[in-house]
Amino acid sequence: MLYSLHVSEFKFAGKLSQILQNYQCSIVEHSEVKETWDAQGQKVKAILSATFEQKLGGLKAVVEMVKKRGAKSIVIVEEAAEAFRVERSMNGALLRVSMPVVADDMAQSFIFALVASFITDGDSTIAADPVSVDLLKLGDRVAKAQVNVFVNGPTGSGKEVLAQYIHKKSSRAEKPFVAINCAAIPENMLEALLFGHKKGAFTGASTSSDGIFQAADGGTLLLDEVSEMSMPLQAKLLRVLQERSVVPLGASAPIPVDVRTLATSNRNIPMEIRRGRFREDLYFRLNVFPLATKALNERSQDIIPIAAELLVRHQSDLENFPTISGPALQRLLEYSWPGNVRELENVIQRATVLRNSNIIEFEDIMIDTPSPEYHLDEPLVSHV
């Protein structure tokens, strides 16, 4: 997506452009109306101010202008509005955002992040913290290669998000991206899901089925939490990666597959290898290029834009869309987030339930804090 930002009559265009860069957006700024824009095959979204809309002569003139320039959707931002409001129309092709100006700098930063989240409509990867910026720069470089990538990091730190980013930036972007969570599928099912099976290969196999490797042919396969795979299945996976072909259960002939493999784990793989839980040869095959995601408390500048993105994702009622107060945001920044982005997501969802107005306040930020009297090593149920 290419974002065409009209800076004419747009006081906060520079700030918005800066924040959109944290969302890895391709932005072109214009001070004058042009008839056409060469998007080089990309979809174009036009962003302009409500003041510019009025100067141009209203919505009809705006629609005609952006159509001539090849834009498929429009965002109109009303600056210095009384309250934050969002409205979608024209079957989703038009987004109107009313953006208030508040005294609290942190709350104002969050409002800018909200506007950016609505503009990108969830189709972005957030990197505001220098740690995340550097990681995505590495991701950009490795995406251009065809090598396998191993992403290590804590649970909930965005390993799958990084894998999707690499796929989107690669030459395989138009091909399938298929992800499978190796920890969530029973061992007796995982092999058939990965490699496929023929009719009658096992009890219950009433039809033949292509495996996930075949589904990802030409594209990218993500083996999420690959370290949870059993040693026997690891050996079979290694052979598939070496031979670049799969043999479905119940079949005898191999089927060639062209798949780029990305793998993730939250474990210390060298330690798992020493303990005999992970094959060293498989690790070397997967770990051609290692990447590591960081815990959320190690990239605090990502917290506010991620919170905005999560709020947009989980607050479906646009008529009374909330913002977050400065003290509430400060609480988010001061917390250590042991559960990383997944824990932040839970807290944001709770806040949307607890709020009493269109502003999420400090007291609406409900964070789990275990009682001193509660011990994790005690049974939850006592047996008499």
DSSP for 11-38, please give it. TTHHHHHHHHHHTT-EEEEESS--S---
pLDDT at residue number 374: 47
User: CB of 237 within 8 A of CB of 229?
Assistant: yes
201 versus 320: the higher-pLDDT residue is 320
Distance CA 90, CA 127 (A): 31
**Which stretch of 46-55, 65-74, 239-248 has the lowest confidence by average pLDDT?**
65-74
User: What CATH number matches the domain at 2-127+299-364, 1.10.10.10, 3.40.50.2300, 1.10.260.40, 1.10.8.60?
Assistant: 1.10.8.60
Q: Report the percentage of the chain scoring pLDDT > 70.
A: 93
φ and ψ of 248, to 5 deg: -60, 155
Of 204, 219, 286, 212, which is closest to residue 248 (Cα–Cα)? Answer: 212
Q: Domain ranges for the chain, please list them.
A: 2-127+299-364, 148-289
pLDDT of residue 341: 96
Q: What is the mean pLDDT of residues 292-299?
A: 97
Q: Which CATH number fits domain 148-289: 2.60.40.10, 3.40.50.300, 3.30.1780.10, 3.90.76.10?
A: 3.40.50.300
Nearest Cα to Cα of residue 109 among 314, 326, 318: 326
How many C-alpha atoms does 127 have within 13 Å on its Cβ side?
A: 22
pLDDT tens per residue, range 324-357: 999 999 999 999 999 999 999 999 999 999 999 9
Q: What is the pLDDT of the chain when averaged over all its residues?
A: 91
| Residue 249 DSSP class | B
